[in-house]
């Protein structure tokens, strides 16, 4: 079962280390981790995408909550959240292939952000599955490099994540 943990943490040195260390020490899995400043100064929002069964996820949340620098943690199921990841893909693109690639990129609402002689950089935003699909469609053209940010997320509607 995949869950997204949205946490508000103190924006202080060592916080990332504490959280990552806890996951390592207790043998929990991290699929992706993003961190950036939150709405309040001095606080950061960290989003961790993890997998495990019900009991394991409950333990993860409780152990994370014990860290003094973690202000709040919520676990969000797939359906209740807006989850987005930014992806940059550098793909081989000879002149004839470009229009084809354009045709692939458009329905994904991705955009071409850099054009060189024989390559393009495409920027895509979406959930992980959508980005995965785009990668597969572009693979035949020759993927040179991929950089993905990992998922960041908020709960849908009025509820707040912290």
Partner 1 sequence: MSSLEKETTRAAQQAARGFIGGDLLVESLKTEGVDTIFGYPGGANLWIYDALYLSDINHILVRHEQGAIHGAQGYSRASGKVGVVLSTSGPGATNLVTGIADAYMDSTPLVVLTGQVAVAGIGKDTFQEADVMGITMPITKHSYQVRDPRDIPRVVREAFYIARTGRPGPVLIDLPKNVTGEVLPAGEDYFSNSTMKIHGYQPRFEPNALDVDRLREAIKQAKKPILYIGGGIISSGCSELITRFARETRIPVTSTLMGLGSFPPDDPLYLGMLGMHGTYTANKAVFESDLLIACGVRFDDRVCGKLERFAPNSLKAHLDIDPAEIGKNVAIQYPVVGDVGRSLALLLEDVPVPDCSEWLSKLQKLHAEVPLTYTKQPGILKPQEVLEMLQAATGGQAIVTTEVGQHQMWAAHYYKPVSPRKFITSGGAGTMGYGFPAAMGAAIAKPDQTVVCVAGDASFQMNIQELQTIFERNIPVKVFVINNRYLGMVRQWQELLHGERYAESRIGGPDFAKVAEAYGVLGLRAENAEEAQAAVAKALSHQGPVVVDFIVAEGENVFPMVLPGRGSDEMMLADRWSE
Q: Which residues would be at the binding site for partner 1 (CB under 8 A)?
A: 9-10, 13-14, 17-18, 21-22, 25, 55, 58-59, 62-63, 65-72
Nearer to partner 1, 9 or 87 (CB): 9
Strand positions, DSSP E, 11-148: 32-37, 43-51, 70-76, 81-92, 111-115, 119-126, 143-148
Task: Report, in Å, the least distance between residue 18 CB and partner 1.
Answer: 6
H or E, element range at 10: strand 2-10
Nearer to partner 1, 18 or 98 (CB): 18
Nearer to partner 1, 52 or 142 (CB): 52
29 close to 51: Cβ distance less than 8 angstroms:
yes
Q: How far apart are CA 3 and CA 75, in angstroms?
A: 6
Nearer to partner 1, 64 or 89 (CB): 64
The residues facing 40 across adjacent strands are: none
Task: Report, in Å, the least distance between residue 24 CB and partner 1.
Answer: 9
């Amino acid at each position: 079962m995949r869950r997204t943990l949205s946490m508000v943490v103190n924006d202080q040195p060592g916080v990332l280390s504490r959280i990552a260390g806890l996951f390592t020490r207790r043998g929990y899995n991290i699929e992706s981790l993003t961190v950036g400043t939150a709405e309040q100064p001095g606080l950061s929002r960290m989003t961790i995408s993890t997998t495990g069964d019900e009991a394991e996820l409950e333990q993860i949340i409780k152990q994370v909550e014990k860290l003094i620098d973690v202000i709040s943690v919520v676990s969000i199921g797939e359906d209740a959240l807006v989850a987005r990841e930014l992806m940059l893909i550098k793909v081989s693109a000879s002149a004839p292939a470009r229009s084809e690639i354009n045709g692939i990129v458009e329905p994904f609402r991705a955009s071409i952000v850099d054009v060189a002689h024989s390559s393009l950089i495409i920027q895509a935003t979406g959930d992980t599955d959508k980005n995965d699909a785009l990668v597969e469609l572009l693979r035949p053209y020759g993927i040179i490099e991929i950089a993905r940010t990992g998922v960041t997320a908020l709960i849908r509607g009025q509820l707040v994540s912290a």
